[in-house]
Amino acid sequence: MVSKRSGLVLAIGFNLFIALSEASLLARQRSQQELDSKYNWWQHEVFYQIYPRSFMDSNGDGIGDLKGVTSKLQHFVETGITAVWLSPIFQSPMKDFGYDISDYSKIQPEYGTFEDFDELIANATAAGIKVILDFVPNHSSDEHEWFIKSAARESGYEDFYVWEDGKVLENGTRVPPNNWRSVFTGSAWEWHEGRQQYYLRQFTAGQPDLNYRNPAVLQAMDEVMIYWLNKGVAGFRIDAINYVYENTQLLDEPLSETTDDPNSYDYLDHIYTKNLPEVNELLQHWRVMLDDYSKNNDGPQRIMMTEGYADVNTVMNYYEDENGTQGVQFPFNFDFISSLNNNSDARDFVYIIERWLIYMPHGHAPNWVMGNHDNPRVASRYGVQTVDSMNMLLMTLPGIAITYYGEELGMVDYRDISFADTVDQPACDVGIANYKWMSRDPERTPMQWNNDTNAGFSTASKTWVPVNPNYLQLNAEAQKQAPRSHLKVYQQLIKLRQLEVLQNGAFIAQAYNREVELKGKRSILTIINVSNSQQQIDVSDFAESSKHLVLLVVGVDSQYKVGQRLKPSEIVLAPYEGLVTRLSLREK
């Protein structure tokens, strides 16, 4: 019985249409590589997000640090990872664990010193690993000297932030200048006794918004970027870019009519505080600066990637605007976090994957973010059974893959952290009754290195957030030793990405319900069962000209082995199983 029900099996095929002899292919690869090494190194890269607080603690204070990261570079070398991006390491009062910055040019002491940073860059460079820093432009900390000077109206700093008088009602009560809301509830305006004015803060009171319409602010931020480029970073991940500009007339935002709670951020439709077109000009400005820097200095092309949860058109404009002016190398694609979930079927996957490719302006690199520090982990969002399949998907889609630390091991959220141990501010703010699902601590637990105390992360008696107790079984060391493991699947997938066909092949994604023909010798076919039940499929439509599919990567619990040959007409996939296969032509 051959089942061709749609919606259960996701098949991703790569097909190299260009017929090239071995020799010319090699020559082409070589010239491509020479070009890639400086300009296009990032176009097919795997970027690994390190949350420094949770990666490795070198000094036993229970908090991860730079020396810890440096001491674990071998993990990347063994796994095949050649680029990492670090969540903020800058000086910060840590109300939002580093996303509130009090000095952009200093390192938070608990993360280490400049010597530690230089050593990280030097050792990473020696190991062939590029380092990207997180850049948080939307605001600084209220402890930043710029804010202190601005509050005191010190000359040159008066307008570094967005200051307003507010309004006085008939009965004499002073109120904020408009109805704008903070992302974390309540007014976005905070009264400052010293300056006797309100300042804008779209996040917490301790995170005043910088005034990017002031050229001096822009210049100051440019200098910060150059400062870190000079220290050897390969570029920046730019945080929450869409909040950088607000409407200058301070117009009230219209009601969204999605909630009755006037304090909620969702109460308003954010047409005047989010996603303003000026964002593109800012990114274009930085692009020119980074391109110039790359031209005038040795080393790779310095790049930018942006965080911005926004509609697809807005995000695509970050690549380049309607006139083709270049912005960032890539805006993060959060579709696997925001648009798909464990109820999505194969058609949903195909639809969402294709949407990015269809909207993306010509000539750019697609990218796929599987997880990050603000969202539940893949294993918790899609289910633990899907870990290998989701990594197969991530790694065989065209373009750039982005992995959150621990997801090469299939780490899961530790949702059972007590309220007493909870440190994520928004979770603390909502109280013991509601903190559990609000908290981002569960996806920020320490990296699970081995089965020693604190998973080998720290020798402290208490770590900054608790270690997931499942570390005794789930850890990197155990996965290195096991004959099969998520880590080994991940390693195999990274190796596979060297294949020319995966880098430059023509791409097809299909929910298995239509006929697709894959041509060419080097076609790769990834097949994923996104349902929770087993059935037999026939992919001979995909594999028409070939006799067999040879298995290149299989999951941890698979009945199959790497190298095994399958008949395209009879493939059985277990629930959530994924297979990466190569089409094998008729016997020669």
Ligand X SMILES: *[C@@H]1O[C@H](CO)[C@@H](O)[C@H](O)[C@H]1NC(C)=O
Query: Which residues are at the interface with ligand X (CB under 6 A)?
Result: 8-9, 67, 70-71, 96, 99-100, 119, 123, 136-139, 169, 171, 173, 203, 207, 239-241, 243, 321-323, 342, 383, 451, 472, 477-478, 481, 529, 531-537, 572-573, 575
Quote the tokens at residue 150: 């601005």
Strand partners, 83: 47, 130
* Spatial distance between the Cα atoms of 38 and 31, rounded to a whole number of angstroms: 12
- Considering 307, 320, 388, 424, which one is annotated as catalytic? 307
Q: Of 7 and 299, which has the nearer Cβ to ligand X?
A: 7
Minimum gap (Å) between residue 245 Cβ and ligand X? 10
3-state secondary structure (DSSP) of residue 272: coil
Whole-angstrom distance, CA of residue 533 vs CA of residue 8: 9
Closest to ligand X by CB, 9 or 390: 9
CB closer to ligand X, 3 vs 37: 3
Residue 84's nearest CA partner among 417, 502, 401 is 401
Which pair of tokens denotes residue 7?
A: 């919606």
Nearest distance from residue 270's CB to ligand X, in Å?
13
Q: Which of 349, 441, 443 is nearest to 404 (CA)?
A: 443
Q: Which is nearer to ligand X, 123 or 504 (CB)?
A: 123
Closest CB to ligand X among 154 and 223?
223
The two tokens of residue 310 are 């926004």
Beta bridge partners of 334: none
> Are 168 and 157 spatial neighbours (Cβ–Cβ below 8 Å)?
no
Q: Which amino acid, residue 396?
A: T
Report the C-alpha gap between 429 and 435 in whole angstroms: 8
| 170 given a catalytic annotation | no
Of the pair 45, 96, the CB lying nearest ligand X is at: 96
Best CA proximity match to 120, nearest among 54, 52, 45: 52
Report long-range pairs for 452-461 (Cβ below 8 Å, ≥24 apart). 457/54, 457/55, 457/56, 457/57, 457/64, 458/57, 458/60, 458/61, 458/62, 458/63, 458/64, 459/57, 459/60, 460/57, 460/60, 460/61, 460/62, 461/62
Distance (Å, whole) CA 508 – CA 88: 37
Q: Residue 338 to residues 309, 333, 427: CA-CA distances in angstroms?
A: 9, 9, 20
Dihedral of the CA atoms 62, 92, 294, 40 (nearest 10)?
Answer: 50
Instruction: Select 21 or 171, whichever has its Cβ closest to ligand X.
Output: 171
Q: How far is the CB of 497 from ligand X (least distance, A)?
A: 25
Nearer to ligand X, 119 or 164 (CB): 119
CA distances from 74 to 47, 127, 128, 231, 356 (A): 16, 8, 11, 22, 34
What count of other Cβ atoms lies within 10 Å of the Cβ of residue 235? 27
Question: Hey, what amino acid is at 474?
Answer: L
CA distance 206 to 98: 12
Q: For ligand X, which is the closer residue by CB, 294 or 389?
A: 389
Least Å from the CB of residue 528 to ligand X:
9
Q: Which of the 8 DSSP states describes residue 153? A: T
Q: How many CB atoms lie within 10 A of CB 399?
A: 20
8 Å CB contact between 365 and 43 = yes
Least distance to ligand X, CB of residue 200, Å = 12
Tokens of 15: 């097909």
Task: With beta carbons less than 8 A apart as the criterion, state whether 338 and 308 touch.
Answer: no
Distance in angstroms (rounded) separating the CA atoms of residues 182 and 166 = 16
Report, in Å, the least distance between residue 171 CB and ligand X: 4
Q: How many residues does this entry show for the chain?
A: 588
> Smallest gap, in angstroms, from Cβ of residue 265 to ligand X?
12
Nearest distance from residue 15's CB to ligand X, in Å?
Answer: 21
Cβ distance to ligand X smaller for residue 227 or 437 = 437
Report yes or no: 537 and 9 within 8 Å, Cβ to Cβ. Answer: yes
Q: Tell me, what amino acid is at 156?
A: G
Catalytic annotation present for 239: yes
322 vs 587 by CB, closer to ligand X: 322
Question: In whole angstroms, how close is the CB of 130 to ligand X at the nearest point?
Answer: 16
φ, ψ of residue 566 to 5 degrees: the values are: -120, 150
Q: Are 386 and 378 in contact (CB under 8 A)?
A: yes
- In the complex, the smallest distance separating the C-beta of residue 535 from ligand X, rounded to whole angstroms, is 2
Q: Out of 57, 239, 253, 388, pick the active-site residue.
A: 239
Report d(CA 72, CA 480) in Å as an integer.
15
Q: What is the closest distance, in whole angstroms, from the C-beta atom of residue 112 to ligand X in the complex?
A: 10
The per-residue DSSP string of 372-407 comes to -TTS--HHHHT-GGGHHHHHHHHHHSSSEEEEETTT
Residue 116, helix vs strand vs coil? helix
**Residues annotated as catalytic (active site), given as ranges:** 239, 307
